[in-house]
Structure formats: C-alpha cells, structure tokens
Amino acid sequence: MRTVEWHNNGVRMIDQKRIPWELTHVDLSTYQQVAAAITDMTVRGAPAIGAAAAFGMALAAQNSTAQNLAALITDLEQAAHTLKAARPTAVNLAWAVDHMMKLAHNTPHTTVDDLRQALLKEAQRIADEDVAINRRMGEHGANLIKEGFTVLHHCNTGALATVDHGTALGVIRSAFEQGRKFHVLLDETRPRLQGSRLSAWELEQLGIPYHIIPDTAAGYFMQKGEVDLVLVGADRIVANGDFANKIGTYQIAVLAKENDIPFYTVAPTSTIDLTIATGKHIPIEERDPSEVLAPYGNALVPGHFKARNPAFDVTPHRYLTGIVTENGIAYPPFDESLRAIVK
C-alpha cells in the first residue's frame, strides 16, 4: 500500500498519527485539507510530503471553478501559497509545488480541462517516481550494511515517510531483502516518537530484528561498541553538505564521530537544495510546545510549564561520511560531489 495516493477524485493517505495502534486512511477533498494534514503530521517525511503537495495541487485544479486558463492559474497560485506554508523545512514540499506551478505556466494547454489532467498526471508521475528512486537508493546503500552489523537509525524514514519503500529505512529494507542478517537500534525520537511508533511498526511488518532505545541511550551503545553504522534521513541538504533532519540528529552525528562510526544520510536528489550555501540558512520549524508537554494528549507535566519544540536540527557536513542518493553515494568534498550527483 502507498502512504499517499489519488483515490476517488481526492487524496487518500495513511493517518500516521494512529500508527501503531491502528492502520487507517483519511480521504481529503480540498487542497486546504491536504495542507492541514501536512501541518498536523497526518502525513510526514520529506518525500511523502512532496507527493502529497503535488496531489494537493492537482486537487486544487480539479476543484477550481475557473473557466479560463488565467483564472485557473490564479487559483493554483493561491493553493501553492497555502501548501508551501504548511511546513517550512522540508525542501521536497516547495520543490513539488514549484514543479507543478512550472508545468502550469510553461506547458501549452488549450483548455482548463487539459491543464487539470496534465497536473494530475504529473502528480501521479512524481509519486511513482518516488518509489523507483527509493528502490535505487536502497540498491546503492545496501552494501553499507554488512553481515552481523548493528545499525542505529533515527526518526522514521521508511515507506511511511515516502510514497513507498523508504530512504534510510529503505536501505535497511533492501539489505534485508538481499538476505543479510543484522540488527537495528531505533531511537524513539521524541517528542512525536516516530522511531518507536512508526519505524518499529514498519520493521515489525518486515520481520527485521530491532530494539527501541531512548534517544539519550545512543551514546551508551556507541561507547560499548554495539553500533557499526548510523543511517538517517534528511529534510534538506544544502550545497556544502550540511543537512537538516529530525531534531536529535546532530547529537547522534557528534557521538558517531567521537566513536569513529560511519554516519550516512539517505535522501533523494529532490532533497538537495543547491541554492543555499550552508546549513545556517535552513529555516527551522518550531512546533507547538504542547507536543513536548503532553505528547498525543497525554500530559507529562502541568500545562502551564514552559517548553520549546524545534522540529529539526542542522548537522554540519564535517560529521558526514557520505550521502546516499538515487544516483549513487556522494563523498567529501560535498560542494563538488553534490553538484555532480544532482546533474
């Protein structure tokens, strides 16, 4: 099954807020509902967000009452603004929306229905291509996992974070499908627990051995020599190789460097943003403090206590061993290798 897809003239997606307790879908009939689903993390993971946004743009076109192309493009521009504002850090979101707007502006169409169909076809292509790209990343990265390894993974980067298969967890899945035996340590990934809720659920379905560990235990296992490789995803990789990923990634990278453990991020080239020079310029989303104080509505402390909730941090490129993409693995110097791999 796919995380997000076009279904009955609308967007259907897995409700990731309900996993692992139940597997349910939500059906969305407006682009505003798609934007809200991205914001509240019904759908999450940079590639999945990109595909959802592309379908959201197609949905905006389907629902528009415009009678001419100019009016339809005006409606699409409004949808683009709403969707891009849903979450600022993941570059795949803006990439997908801008791609759909470029098609609307630059491809000749004779009628509004022609443009509507073209946008839906392109959104479907983006979704299908994501699955193919993930499988290629899996093939490039699988050999990093040797027989008997223990791999540390942060957040969720599997099929749920993409349209299907996954990025960093996709590499793990591909190595497992090739017959390799290994073990995975899953950071729980507070405050939304994507590691303990989503990644563990996915590995359960696949039959891959794992243990959930507290975020604060990563250094303990590294220091004991029980981690051979670290694989994480990325929401935005910039020109020098700095990258933004789920909060907690930076400290894992520092610990991996200290303990001489290879540390890779796995992401499609659509996540690479060569327009930004360094990670200092990546916008970082700060979410509602209630996610820290009362995760999933379960109060841990009194509601008037103060908290901050950055959703991402930036890992400097000096901590990276390499970047796995669908076009191969980029190694330092990243300012050269990333440009080559994007081309």
How many Å apart are CA 100 and CA 127, to the nearest integer? 13
Options 187, 228, 235, 242, the catalytic residue: 235
Task: Return the SS3 of 238.
Answer: strand
Is position 288 annotated as part of the catalytic site? no
How many Å apart are CA 36 and CA 161, to the nearest integer? 17
Alpha-carbon separation of residue 339 from 49, 126, 134, 240 (angstroms) = 24, 22, 20, 10
CB proximity list for 168: less than 8 A, separation 6 or greater: 141, 153, 157, 231, 232, 233, 264, 265, 266, 324
Place of tokens 């563990």: 200
Q: Which residues are catalytic?
A: 235
